[in-house]
Chain A
Amino acid sequence: MRRQQRQRLAFLLVSGVAWAVTIPIMLVIGLIATRGLEGMSWAFLTEMPREGMVEGGILPALVGTVWLTIGTAIVAMPLAIGAAVYLAEYARPGPLTSAIRLAIVNLAGIPSIVYGLFGLGLFVLYLQLGTSIVAGALTLGLMTLPVVISTAEEAIRAVPQEFRLTSLSLGASRWQTIRHQVLPHALPGILTGVILGLSRAAGETAPILFTAAAYYLPSLPSSPADPTMALPYHLYVIATQVPNMPLAPQFATALTLMLIVLSLTVAASVVRSSYRRRREW
């Protein structure tokens, strides 16, 4: 009897903790969704801001975030896949491999504002890229590297050893085996990691604060060398810097940003689950 009571108590405790985590998240999402929908409209998404950003829409910030996300993917993917292939297929245990792994773990732990300042120093000033989409994408790309490398390495290791041996036995070189067997089979897993990395990059403010983001621009960026508005920074600006800013567009901006990040996360899990279903091994 006492044992059963303890069991009930333990169950109550753990489920209570689980709800304690879930409820605030649902409240935040619910609040942003209901209040955000008030200011949400097609015009809000497709118009330029007017009257000192109090009126109009968020088009340049939306476009800027899309460009920055695409740029981040272009920067992070080749670097991360290269590093993951090296770690999973070529690296032997030793001081060099340990150093690389230590660096990746540490990269994952660096605060995003430090990435922002690093990007300012290296890309904006030293490489003279200026405040631009390129500089922002490079900074965000660096920041997402650790998570993409880790998931890509995991995906590559998950490809059965048998495929490698079979390919080698047919006379393929190690690189041909990686290129034609390992990477194609690891691709869905790698993509999952990339999308998750991007979903984090899309919502970040600090790394683009000094490298890419503009307070207000009267027109859309015309090239990757232009600075851009971006949703997270725009949200910060209209929430704290613009006097007499009505609440509705603030919530609608937050909702837009949240939906972008959420849809990336959903896309990642769709890729992952459709890949699990299709997988024959």
Chain B
Amino acid sequence: MSAAELVGMSGSMPESVGSSDGAADDLILVQDFSFYYGAFRALENLNLTVRDREVTALIGPSGCGKSTFLRAINRMNDTIRGVRYEGDIRVAGQSIYQADTDVADLRQRVGMVFQRPNPFPQSIFDNVAYGPRVLGLAGDKADVSERTRLALSQVGLWEELGDRLDRPALALSPGQQQRLCIARTLATEPRIILMDEPCSALDPVATLAIEGLMRRLAERYCIVVVTHNMQQAARVSDRTGFFWLGRLVEFGPTNDIFTLPQEKLTEDYITGRRG
């Protein structure tokens, strides 16, 4: 996908790569968003903007709502019964909570990587080819192969496994499985990739590989990553949001959050006095 195509998808606003104030890079717009599981309010009145071609990290203690927020962006929360929301989320200028929103189309544009690597119990090739085949993105067999090769190259698996694509995906190491899952998402041509604690099941070496991958992917995609690991957020992200009890306490450039937090709560959490 070329940069021109990416801009085309975001609307007619002019491109302004690298500028710090350009609204053109605002890809996800969250407005007064609240979310409920039955009577329990999991998210309270969120307002934030997530930029394209950046890594945005969401940190906070367990149960603070950061994963719920992540799943609100691709509407995976819809699969749970008894949920309710207020407010709005816009992706590339379009509200995603309209009655006529094509949820499948939204999820194709907003890919997701889960906490536990979850390849299908099929071959490496079939996993990555799932999107092109099932969603009908690919024209013919050669096209499916080409898209699969491209996606695997992007995560560095083509070099490692290019000659063994017919092997079962579940025979790979957990780190490779997670990169395979990222490739599977890339093959659906998303604009945004949501990652829900993508390294928490991985060893330190595999974790570093995924973090490096996130940085590279941020050159072309918008990455939102939920993490428990504060060093990871500091290493990998451009912006960080701190969640506490369903509220977004603080959100800003990662450097500022970790060096000059504006809120006492943020400082206490980051320095380990609370959490």
Chain A: residues with CB nearer than 8 A to chain B? 162-163, 165-173, 176, 180-181, 185, 279-281
Contact = CB atoms under 8 A, between A and B. Distances in A.
Contacts, number: 58
Question: Top 8 closest A-B pairs, CB basis?
Answer: A171-B108, A171-B107, A280-B121, A169-B112, A173-B104, A180-B134, A176-B134, A280-B170
B240 interface: no
20 contacts: A165-B76, A166-B118, A166-B120, A167-B120, A168-B104, A169-B74, A169-B76, A169-B114, A170-B111, A170-B131, A170-B188, A171-B108, A171-B109, A172-B135, A180-B130, A180-B134, A185-B121, A280-B121, A280-B168, A280-B170
B185 A170 contact: yes
B140 interface: no
A171 B131 contact: yes
Chain B contact residues: helix, strand, loop or mixed:
helix
Nearest to A280: B121
Interface residues of B, number: 25
B184 interface: yes
Nearest to A278: B121
A42 to B, nearest CB: 43
Given A176-B135, A180-B130, A170 B79 contact: no
Nearest to A173: B104
A180 B170 CA distance: 18
Contacts of A162: 118
Contact of B108 (A170, A180, A281): A170
Contacts of A167: 120, 130, 134
Residue from B76, B104, B114, B184 having most chain A Cβ neighbours under 10 A = B104
B143 interface: no
Contact of A169 (B111, B120, B121): B111
Nearest to A181: B120
B105 interface: yes
A180 to B, nearest CB: 5
Contact of A281 (B105, B121, B130, B184): B121
Contact of B120 (A163, A168, A171): A163
